[in-house]
Structure 1
Amino acid sequence: MKFFKAALFIFLVLATSGVFAQTSAELKRRRDKLNDELEQLNREYQETASNKKVSLKQLNILKAQINLREEKITNINSEVRNLDNQISESNNTVHSLQNQLDQLKKDYAGMVLFAYRNQSAYNKLMFIFASKDFNQAYRRLKYLQQFGTYRERQAGYIQGTQKDLHVKIVELDKDKKQKNELLQSQEKEKAELGKAKNNQVKVISNLSKHQGELKQQQRDVQKRIARNNKEIINTVRREIEEARRKAEAEAREAARIAAAKAKAENREVVAPTKKAITKNSTNSEILNSTPEAARLSNDFLGNKGRLPWPVAAGQLVHGFGTYNDADGIRNENTGYEIRTNTGAAVRAVFEGEVRTIMDISGTYLVVIKHGEYFTAYQNLRTVNVAKGQKVSTKQTIGTVAVDASTGDATIIFQLYKDKGFVDPRLWLAPN
């Protein structure tokens, strides 16, 4: 019974350790990805640092480095906490196994001593013949046979427990070593984070000398984004009005045909089963008035949280919502601003139809309709599609442009539904 309880305890501990190991593996994968992104940023920063003219690109790279290093430190803290839990569990297991081993050895020693004192065949025979009756003699004979088997089994338990103890001690030493390595890595990242923040202060100081020029560049970018956003809204409004007119025209034509047929057959006009589009109809009802549009809307909704990113590789610069720029000015972002590689291909995140292509201040805006949903892609250098063209998921629609004010290849991705922009984080797959 004691052995069963001990085995159950070990199983539960090992199962718990497996959960920690899985979480630790995920954290390690994230740490490796952060290392790759930091290496890429370091290479880009060295390229910009070789240029004597300080630019906003340097500042953006430094800000991205700082964010990634802070995330990496947080990731390491989580790994250390997991290892602390594993080390604690391993210590408890080692103590439990050691106590069990001591008890098994003590019991085994008692059995060996008993066997030694009764090792002669004469003593065993006397033990059997001293029985009161045949049944007792039979039970004593079986006892002696089982005693030998039990002693062999106990010896096996001791060997197995010693092996388990050795394995857990090795795992414990490995976890402690890994924890020390993580703590050293954490200290290194804190030092690098401090350097990056100092560099950021220097770059901001140098940029302040060209503040007027940079401010004008930023204003130009904001104006372009505002014009793009206005065009996106206008595109949606045009699509709603066009869908409304089409639905109303189809309803009138269907009513005319039904009335003519009823008159010819000398019967009353049957009311249409399909819900008519009226002035009170919602945008969703209007845009989903055709079976194809309704199917596309349902498919788009069914892929919520799993849509691919508009670029194959990229880092999020600004997410949806408000943020403060380097000067502390509050800005509103209506989508995802993603930094990617120069000349990177821009992809449609879902099948749909291109409804708008517009050149605004030297860069292109592309708007794609997916039933009642719309996706917009700002800051394209080239466009590979035409208005009215059907596109598929991940189909290339153009290439990303380099922002003149920052030197970064960035794309602004937006998602529009009903009466406003929605957060792409809820729709795009984790990057």
Structure 2
Amino acid sequence: MKFFRAALFLVCVFAATGVFAQSSAELKRRRDKLTDELEQLNREYQETASNKKVSLKQLNILKAQINLREEKITNINSEVRNLDNQISESNNTVRSLQSQLDQLKKEYAGMVLFAYRNQSAYNKLMFIFASKDFNQAYRRLKYLQQFGTYRERQAGYIQGTQKDLHVKIVELDKNKKEKSDLLQSQEKEKEELGKAKNNQVKVITDLSKHQGELKQQQKDVRKRIAAANREIQNTIRREIEELRRKAEAEERERARIAAAKAKAENREVVAPTKKAITKNSTTSEILNSTPEAAKLSNDFLGNRGRLPWPVATGQLIHGFGSYKEDGISIDNTGYEIRTNNGAPVRAVFDGTVKTIVDLGGSYLVIIIHGEYFTSYQNLRTVNVTKGQKVSTKQTIGTAALDQLSGDATIIFSINKGRDSVDPKMWLAPN
């Protein structure tokens, strides 16, 4: 029974360790991916730095590097916490195994002493013949047979426990070494992060010599973004009004038909079971007024935190929210993502293309997913048409080159009804 409980404990410990290992493997894959992206950015930065003229492209690369290094440091912190948990579990297991081994050895020593005292055939026969009756003699005979088997089994348990103890000690030493390496890597990343931030300050200082020109260019870019945001809001408003009018018209027609039928049958009109859309209906009620839209909304919500990125490869330049850049206030309603020139831009979920707008050299595409809308700004080309149904990861266009920065960037945003939401809560880790 004691051995059964010990075995059950070990199974639970090893199962828990498996969960940690899986999580650690995912974190390591993410760290390796971030390292590859940082190396690519370093190569690009060296190419731009060789040009004597400081450019916004250098600044954007530095911003992307800073974002990736901060994410890598956070990732390393998670790995260290995982290793701390594994080290704690291993320490507990080692103590438990050592305690079990000591107990097994103590019990085995007692058995060896008993066997030594009763090792002669005469003593064994006397033990049997001293029985009160035949049944007791039979039980004593079986006991002597089982005692030998049990002693062999106990010796096996001791060997197995010693082996498990050795494995856990080796694993513990490995985890401690890995933690030490991670902490060294973290310090290196912090040092590189500091250098990138210093470079950023230097680049901004150099760019400030052309501050007037650059600010005007940035303002022009922000005007285009603001125009795109207005178009997004106008598209959503028009969709809500169109669905409201359609639902109200359908409700009036259903009421007319029901009244005519009731009159013909000489009975009272039965009140509708479905809630009618009125001017007081909420945005959510209007956008989910059909079963298809309601299902799509529910499916979109069910994939929160798992939606694919709108580009297969990209680095975040600016996140969601308000901030200041070179004295210019910016209200970012989505993600500004740096990618490769001409990179395919893809839908993040099933839906219908609602609007395609030419913003003077680049395109804006808006897709509806029930009560949710996704928007894709700064597309060089568009592969879809208005009203077309699209599927998850379907290419809808290609990323355009930003003439100001020399980078290919897109702006991706998500709206629930009229409200902008942070894509961070919806997109899967990149």
Q: Smaller-chain TM-score range?
A: 0.7 to 0.9
1:186 equivalent in structure 2:
186
Superposition deviation, residue 249 in structure 1:
5.5
Distance in 1 (alpha carbons) for counterparts of 2:128 and 2:260:
114
1:384 equivalent in structure 2:
383
Superposition deviation, residue 220 in structure 1:
0.8
The CA deviation string for residues 405-425 of structure 1, in whole angstroms up to 9 with x for no partner, is: 222211112233433323333
State whether structure 2 residue 222 is matched by structure 1 residue 222.
yes
1:73 equivalent in structure 2:
73
Distance in 2 (alpha carbons) for counterparts of 1:260 and 1:9:
74
Superposition deviation, residue 209 in structure 1:
1.7
Distance in 1 (alpha carbons) for counterparts of 2:155 and 2:226:
80
> Do the aligned residues in 2 keep the contact of 1:258 with 1:269 (CA within 8 Å)?
no
Distance 1:288-1:122 versus aligned 2 partners, 3 A rule: closer
Distance 1:143-1:217 versus aligned 2 partners, 3 A rule: same
* Counterpart AA for 2:361: G
Distance in 1 (alpha carbons) for counterparts of 2:392 and 2:64:
29
1:85-104 matches, within 5 Å, as 85-104=85-104
* Counterpart AA for 1:425: K
Question: How many pairs align?
Answer: 429
The CA deviation string for residues 384-431 of structure 1, in whole angstroms up to 9 with x for no partner, is: 333344444433222111222222211112233433323333444443
* Counterpart AA for 1:232: I
Distance in 1 (alpha carbons) for counterparts of 2:146 and 2:294:
76
> Do the aligned residues in 2 keep the contact of 1:58 with 1:203 (CA within 8 Å)?
yes
> Do the aligned residues in 2 keep the contact of 1:54 with 1:203 (CA within 8 Å)?
yes
* Counterpart AA for 1:338: I
Superposition deviation, residue 288 in structure 1:
5.2
Superposition deviation, residue 131 in structure 1:
4.5
Superposition deviation, residue 44 in structure 1:
2.1
Distance in 1 (alpha carbons) for counterparts of 2:179 and 2:242:
63
2:409 equivalent in structure 1:
410
Distance in 2 (alpha carbons) for counterparts of 1:384 and 1:127:
94
1:233 equivalent in structure 2:
233
1:36 equivalent in structure 2:
36
| Ranges in structure 2 where 5+ consecutive residues have no aligned partner | none
Normalised by the length of structure 1, the TM-score is: 0.85
2:199 equivalent in structure 1:
199
State whether structure 2 residue 20 is matched by structure 1 residue 23.
no
1:12-411 matches, within 5 Å, as 12-131=12-131, 134-246=134-246, 273=272, 278-287=278-287, 296-297=296-297, 299-301=299-301, 303-325=303-325, 327=326, 329-411=328-410
* Counterpart AA for 1:10: L
Distance in 1 (alpha carbons) for counterparts of 2:316 and 2:309:
11
Distance in 2 (alpha carbons) for counterparts of 1:31 and 1:329:
34
- Higher mean alpha-carbon deviation, 78-87 vs 95-104, is at 95-104
Superposition deviation, residue 160 in structure 1:
1.5
Aligned Cα root-mean-square deviation (Å): 3.3
Distance 1:241-1:137 versus aligned 2 partners, 3 A rule: closer
Distance in 1 (alpha carbons) for counterparts of 2:111 and 2:257:
102
- Higher mean alpha-carbon deviation, 40-49 vs 265-274, is at 265-274
- The secondary structure found in structure 1 opposite 2:311 is coil
Distance in 1 (alpha carbons) for counterparts of 2:16 and 2:265:
79
* Counterpart AA for 1:343: G
Distance in 2 (alpha carbons) for counterparts of 1:223 and 1:389:
29
Distance 1:149-1:50 versus aligned 2 partners, 3 A rule: same
Distance in 2 (alpha carbons) for counterparts of 1:285 and 1:101:
66
Distance 1:297-1:163 versus aligned 2 partners, 3 A rule: closer
Normalised by the length of structure 2, the TM-score is: 0.85
* Counterpart AA for 1:75: N
Distance in 1 (alpha carbons) for counterparts of 2:112 and 2:71:
60
The CA deviation string for residues 121-156 of structure 1, in whole angstroms up to 9 with x for no partner, is: 223333334445555544443333233222222222
* Counterpart AA for 1:413: F
> Do the aligned residues in 2 keep the contact of 1:372 with 1:417 (CA within 8 Å)?
yes
Distance 1:96-1:261 versus aligned 2 partners, 3 A rule: closer
Superposition deviation, residue 271 in structure 1:
7.9
The CA deviation string for residues 226-273 of structure 1, in whole angstroms up to 9 with x for no partner, is: 11112222223333444455555666677778888999x697996895
| Sequence identity percentage | 83
> Do the aligned residues in 1 keep the contact of 2:378 with 2:410 (CA within 8 Å)?
yes
| Ranges in structure 1 where 5+ consecutive residues have no aligned partner | none
> Do the aligned residues in 1 keep the contact of 2:356 with 2:363 (CA within 8 Å)?
yes
Distance 1:359-1:132 versus aligned 2 partners, 3 A rule: closer
Superposition deviation, residue 30 in structure 1:
2.1
Distance 1:77-1:389 versus aligned 2 partners, 3 A rule: closer
Distance 1:370-1:82 versus aligned 2 partners, 3 A rule: closer
- Higher mean alpha-carbon deviation, 9-18 vs 399-408, is at 9-18
> Do the aligned residues in 1 keep the contact of 2:284 with 2:371 (CA within 8 Å)?
yes
- Higher mean alpha-carbon deviation, 280-289 vs 51-60, is at 280-289
Distance in 2 (alpha carbons) for counterparts of 1:142 and 1:289:
79
- Higher mean alpha-carbon deviation, 347-356 vs 379-388, is at 347-356
Superposition deviation, residue 188 in structure 1:
2.4
Distance in 1 (alpha carbons) for counterparts of 2:268 and 2:116:
109
1:424 equivalent in structure 2:
423
Distance 1:128-1:78 versus aligned 2 partners, 3 A rule: same
